[in-house]
Amino acid sequence: MEDFINSLVTVTTYLHPAAIVLKVIWDEYSKIQINRAKLGDLLDRCKRVIGAIDQELSRRPPLDVKKSIDQLLRHLRFIEQLMRSLAELGFFKSLLQREDIAGRIVHGHQRLTDCLTIFQITAAVDLREYQRSLDRARIADQDALTIQLGVLESNGNEVLKKLNVFQNQMEAMMAIQNSLLRRTEESPEERVLQVGLASLQAHTGKKPPKRPPEWAITAYDVEIGES
C-alpha cells in the first residue's frame, strides 16, 4: 500500500490529492479493533479503484478532469470519515451498532462504484470481485470474533476489560439488553454481548430491566458520527 501511495504522489499529478486521502484512510484502518476484514476489503478496493482511474487518466484524461477529481475526492473523504469514526468507536459500540456499520460499509463500496462511473470505467468485473471479497470478509470477521469469544467466555475480567465500560456499567447493561431484544438470529456478536451482560451482572450484582422502555436511550446507542 505504501509503495502504491508513493507512486501516485511522485508520478501522477492528477491523483496526488487522492493519494493523500488514501494514506489517511490507511492510517485510520490501523486503529480498527473489529470488522477489520470488511474494512480492510474496503481499503483494498479504494486502492484498486484509484489504480484503475490512474490507468484511465494515463490513456485519456476526461475533458473536465478537475470536476471528476473533485467528485472522486468527495467519495474518498466519505470513506476517510467512516474509517476515522469506526477507529474512534471502540469494540463495545461497534458490536452494538454492527448493523449500521455494515450499511455504511456497503455505502462506501457504492461510492467507489460511482468513482468508476465518473471516469467512464466499466465496473462489471470490479463488482463481481467486490461481492466475492465482501462475502469472504464477512466470514473472516465472524471467525475472528468467534476466536475472541472463546477467550472471553472463560474470563469475566477479560470481558469487562474488552468492553471498557467501567464508568457506565448500568447504561452498558441496558444498551446490551436493548440490542439483544432487537435481534432474532444467533451470531458471534450476539454471543459476545450475552457474555458481556452476564459478566456485568456478576460484577455489579445488578440486572437491567427485562424490557427497557422504548424511549430509553443510553450513551452507547448514539449513532456513528453523532458523538
Report the candidate in 200, 140, 136 with the shortest Cα–Cα distance to residue 170.
200
Same-domain pairing of 124 and 198: no
What per-residue confidence (pLDDT) applies to 216? Answer: 58
Same-domain pairing of 25 and 134: yes
pLDDT at residue 178 is higher than 70: yes
Same-domain pairing of 81 and 41: yes
Type of residue at 105: I
Same-domain pairing of 117 and 54: yes
Is residue 120 in some structural domain?
A: yes
Q: Is the dihedral of CA 208, 211, 216, 219 positive or negative?
A: positive
Same-domain pairing of 108 and 10: yes
Is residue 168 in some structural domain?
A: yes
Is residue 106 in some structural domain?
A: yes
For range 111-125, the mean pLDDT: 86
For range 45-69, the mean pLDDT: 87
pLDDT class of 226 with cuts at 50, 70, 90: very low
Domain count, the chain: 2
Q: Counting Cβ atoms within 10 Å, is residue 194 exposed (0-12), middle (13-18) or buried (19+)?
A: middle
Same-domain pairing of 168 and 69: no
For residues 24 and 58, what is the distance between their CA atoms, to the nearest angstrom? 24
Same-domain pairing of 39 and 83: yes
What per-residue confidence (pLDDT) applies to 227? Answer: 36
Give the mean pLDDT of the chain: 84
What per-residue confidence (pLDDT) applies to 225? Answer: 52
Last residue of a domain, one of 121, 143, 165: 143
Is residue 227 in some structural domain?
A: no
What per-residue confidence (pLDDT) applies to 17? Answer: 92
Same-domain pairing of 135 and 180: no
φ, ψ at 215 (rounded to 5°):
-85, -10
pLDDT class of 10 with cuts at 50, 70, 90: low
Higher pLDDT pick, 203 / 183: 203
pLDDT at residue 101 is higher than 80: yes
Last residue of a domain, one of 85, 120, 143: 143
- 490507468: which residue's cell? 55
The model's pTM is 0.83
Same-domain pairing of 124 and 90: yes
Is residue 226 in some structural domain?
A: no
Residues 25-43: tens digit of each pLDDT: 999 999 998 999 999 999 9
Lowest-confidence range among 41-50, 86-95, 205-214, 215-224?
215-224
Is residue 154 in some structural domain?
A: yes
Same-domain pairing of 197 and 101: no
For range 214-222, the mean pLDDT: 61
Same-domain pairing of 77 and 39: yes
Residues 125-147: tens digit of each pLDDT: 677 777 788 889 999 999 998 89
Q: Which residue range is the domain that position 66 belongs to? A: 2-143
Q: Which long-range contacts (CB under 8 A, 24 or more apart) does 2-11 make?
A: 2/26, 4/47, 4/51, 8/50, 8/54
Same-domain pairing of 106 and 177: no
Is residue 38 in some structural domain?
A: yes
Is residue 20 in some structural domain?
A: yes
